[in-house]
Amino acid sequence: MNEKRIFLVSFALYLIAFVSLALAFTQLIPFLIYVGYDPLQRGIILSTIAFVAFFGQLYSGYLCDKYRSVKRFFGLFWIVFTISSVAMYYVTSQVFFFHFIAVSFVGGLFRVTNGLLETWTIETSKKVRDNFGMIRAFGAIGWAIGAPLTSFLVTSFGYQYLGLFMAVGALITFGVARTLPDAKKTGSDVGLKFSDVRQLLSNKPYVMLMIIFIMVSFVMAADMYTVIDKILVVGGTNDDVGLKWSFQAIMELPFFFLGGWMLLKLGSKKILIFSIIFYIIRFVLYAIVQTPFLLILVSGMQMLTFPLYMIAQKVLIDDETPMHLKSSGQMLGMALFGGLPTFITPLLAGVLVNSVGYDTTLMIFAISLVIPLGLSIVYHPKIK
């Protein structure tokens, strides 16, 4: 398949995949509230996502490098993710142990499949990697479509049917994904061992990146949990939650499309620094404003935060990772800065909110970003 066709199919794949991801994920917290779980129960249930995310991302990256295929394992985890989503939304009565397991798989595999899709794209070719932002922009478009669509489907048909609609989108995604070539892998015929992955953790620049990304991800997780809770507490509705997700996705588009140009002009380090500065401003504003409309408006700063951060993250990790460990480098990273914050942030935020309220909690998250900002300034990337 020529690169022009790869780009076109990738655009379609990200579009429909992120519609499906939005259908499964954007109403997760409102669903738990609808079922009747209190804040503590929700915190316990949501914290389990971290375990599936951490071990799923770590093991999937290892499998991709060991068997030199990302496509195969994306398909496998995508199927399990779809089944979990259908099952979770079908049970709308309080069955704590069931939702404890189902939510962990939906939330955890949401991150695993998302990570595998992005890793697959990064490893397709250098030209595709350098234009990752443009491809990822179609994911933002899919998310912008999927978020309000999810709210509409819940209002019109109820939660029990939401998983079935997600399954339709997932089936189309699976069909489109099968037409793309697999990632280009290098390595010997000897199977990859877990001991080989230790190379990553002995690489000091890679470890510094992990520390930076973990600390930023603690705050990003608060946007998914604490900010949404605040929207609902100050009088917002499920439609407001859907609007937040959709508005953020639309605002991502300009800088995703400009990602390749920005990498060329500014470099990945400067892009990372800018994104963290804007995250600090964003969370200070989250702490100050007090209406659903203004909270949603502040979420529009997604334009200056998430696209810049994600592009820098993917490229910096790729540059610091040995050729034969490319998938492991990306997925180990996502296991660390995707898994740990997913476990700790809901619990930490719950304790802080109960102690000092939503506003002070969000301000604490903003101040905590000063540390990764400082580390980003002193970090020296392998490739300028």
CB distance 35 to 93 below 8 Å: yes
Q: Contact, 208 vs 38, CB < 8 A?
A: no
pLDDT of 132 over the 90 cut: no
Residue 235 contacts residue 292 (beta carbons within 8 Å): yes
Q: What is the CATH number of domain 3-183+192-378?
A: 1.20.1250.20
Helix (H, G, I), strand (E, B) or coil at 6: helix
Q: Please name which of 9, 267, 36 lies closest in space to residue 138, comparing C-alpha atoms.
A: 9
Could you give the percent of the chain with pLDDT greater than 70?
A: 95
The encoded tokens of residue 40 equal 């503590």
For the whole prediction, is pTM greater than 0.85?
no
**pLDDT exceeds cutoff 90 at 71:** yes
189 pLDDT more than 50? no
Kindly report, residue by residue over 105-120, the tens digit of the pLDDT.
Answer: 999 999 899 989 988 9
Greatest pairwise CA separation for the chain in angstroms: 59
Round to whole Å and give the CA distance between 327 and 335. 12
Indicate whether 63 pLDDT > 90.
Answer: no
Supply 379's token pair: 């970090």
Report domain extents, the chain: 3-183+192-378
What are the residues whose beta carbons fall under 8 Å from the beta carbon of 106, sequence distance 6 or more?
Answer: 24, 25, 28, 49, 81, 84, 85, 88
pLDDT, tens digit, for every residue of 9-32? 999 999 999 999 999 998 888 899
Contacts of 17 (CB under 8 A, 6+ apart): 117, 139, 142, 173, 177
Per DSSP, the residues of 21-78 read HHHHHTTHHHHHHHHT--HHHHHHHHHTHHHHHHHHHHHHHHHHHHHT-SHHHHHHHH
Torsion sign, CA atoms 234, 240, 242, 243: negative
Mean pLDDT of 248-260: 84
Answer for the pair 121, 311: CB distance below 8 angstroms, yes or no.
no
